[in-house]
């Protein structure tokens, strides 16, 4: 059983969730005199759900609930609105009603995560404020077959020149990849991936002092990259594909991106399906976050990524963008990577090289809804767009001298 807390300020997200759960009168619940704590319990055993709803029944003036069938025949999903006063009573009630204990334990864990939301991300010895502004991660694929820029930077000197350009444009992190993860991509041997990455990472770090992330799910490639100065591992498998990756990252004090992907790059776009895309991916990321922390990776070094385009249809991607604020309940910085993705092409009828406007619109939306990092190909345009977002947020924009 997992609990997902709703942003307190967003009626739109609650209304959408109620409609998704076939609630017939969401407007009534949006106009309660006192805004309750709203939480969705997922995969609740029938006996626990019955116990909770029975307890809530006399408290209907201070809250409400709505349930739908769960992921398995023995469970339900339960959306609950409850005042903080009644929550305090619920905690006390556990002594007399033990069947409520799983609810209280699950909810308290969710509240603790949300209450410990990080303000800083540790990259090597540097603390990056992820609440102050959205950081830009520039993509540097040293591959012949990446979906957008395959072959452009395969040669080391080309890659280093592009890294220098991105740094001049204001990039915060450079993400170096040596193996394509585009849909249907064939894996390359680890030695090939390593040979492509290491000379580039080493030179960028030594020559420019750049913060470098490496896009790999292989621990031996990650170790070699960390040896030459990388500070982050961007793992599309969220530490699932290589059982030694988590311990390596913990031992080396590296940062990690835990990304959701349905299947593998070879299979992920073969009819992807979710029962509830936001619930499913939130649950996955919560489980991988637990796994990472159990293996000794500090929370200050963990970023979560819903994995736009990795085993998702166009509708899935749009729903995830719309629901981005839900993922703040994980308490971790969020990375959003939608740059030039296929769903933008399908939606806007644009080829891969002609998706800048769609990318920028998505980046700005993500930044306004709390993305800590955006991963992009077009650094200069992104930096300028986010600079305007930051100025609007802080209301510090200055008029030009000769306006």
Instruction: Give yes or no: 341 in active site.
Output: yes
**Residue 371 DSSP code:** -
Rg, C-alpha atoms of the chain: 22
Distances from the Cα of 10 to the Cα of 52, 65, 117, 276, 311, angstroms: 25, 18, 18, 19, 28
- Under 8 Å between Cβ of 256 and 235: yes
Cβ atoms of 330 and 287 closer than 8 Å: no
The per-type count for the chain, helices as H runs and strands as E runs, is 14, 14
Candidate list 194, 288, 301, 375, residue with the active-site label = 375
Annotated catalytic residue, options 288, 341, 350, 355: 341
Residue 385 dihedral angles phi and psi, to the nearest 5°: -60, -45
- Contact between residue 371 and residue 332 where contact means Cβ atoms under 8 Å apart: no
- The residue with tokens 């699950």 is 106
Cα separation, 351 vs 219, whole angstroms? 35
Dist CA 240 CA 218 (whole Å): 10
23 CB burial (10 A radius; 0-12, 13-18, 19+): middle
| CA–CA dist 21, 41 (Å, integer) | 13
40 neighbors 17 (Cβ within 8 angstroms): yes
Task: For residue 373, give the 3-state DSSP assignment.
Answer: strand
The yes-or-no answer on residue 161 being catalytic is no
What is the separation of C-alpha 312 from the centre of its chain, rounded to a whole number of angstroms? Answer: 14
Cα–Cα dist 243/231, whole Å: 20
Catalytic residue annotation: 341, 375
């Amino acid at each position: 059983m997992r609990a997902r807390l709703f942003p307190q300020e967003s009626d739109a997200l609650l209304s959408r969730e109620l409609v998704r759960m076939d609630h017939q009168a969401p407007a009534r619940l949006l106009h309660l005199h006192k805004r309750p704590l709203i939480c969705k319990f997922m995969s609740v055993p029938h006996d626990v759900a019955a116990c909770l709803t029975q307890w809530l029944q006399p408290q209907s003036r201070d809250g409400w609930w709505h349930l739908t069938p769960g992921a398995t025949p023995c469970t339900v999903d339960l959306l609950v609105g409850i005042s903080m006063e009644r929550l305090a009573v619920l905690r006390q009630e556990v002594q007399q009603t033990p069947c409520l204990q799983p609810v209280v334990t699950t909810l308290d864990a969710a509240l603790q995560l949300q209450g410990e939301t990080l303000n800083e991300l540790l990259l090597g010895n540097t603390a990056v404020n992820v609440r102050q502004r959205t950081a830009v991660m520039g993509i540097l694929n040293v591959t012949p077959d990446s979906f957008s820029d395959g072959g452009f930077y395969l040669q080391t000197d080309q890659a280093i020149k592009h890294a220098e350009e991105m740094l001049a444009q204001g990039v915060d992190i450079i993400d170096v990849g040596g193996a394509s993860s585009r849909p249907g991509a064939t894996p390359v041997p680890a030695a090939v991936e390593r040979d492509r990455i290491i000379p580039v990472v080493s030179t960028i770090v030594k020559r420019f002092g750049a913060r470098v992330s490496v896009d790999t799910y292989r621990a031996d490639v990650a170790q070699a990259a960390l040896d030459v100065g990388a500070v982050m591992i961007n793992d599309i498998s969220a530490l699932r594909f290589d059982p030694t990756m988590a311990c390596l990252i913990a031992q080396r004090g590296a940062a990690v991106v835990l990304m959701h992907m349905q299947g593998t790059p070879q299979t992920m776009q073969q009819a992807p399906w979710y029962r509830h895309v936001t619930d499913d991916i939130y649950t996955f990321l919560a489980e991988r976050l637990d796994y990472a922390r159990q293996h000794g990776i500090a929370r200050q070094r963990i970023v979560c990524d819903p994995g736009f385009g990795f085993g998702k249809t166009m509708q899935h991607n749009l729903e995830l963008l719309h629901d981005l604020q839900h993922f703040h309940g994980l308490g971790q910085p969020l990375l959003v990577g939608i740059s030039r993705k296929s769903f933008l092409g399908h939606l806007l009828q644009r080829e891969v090289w002609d998706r800048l406007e769609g990318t920028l619109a998505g980046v700005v939306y993500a930044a306004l809804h709390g993305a800590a990092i955006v991963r992009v190909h077009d650094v200069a345009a992104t930096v300028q767009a986010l600079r305007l977002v930051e100025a609007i947020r802080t209301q510090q924009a200055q008029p030009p001298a000769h306006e």
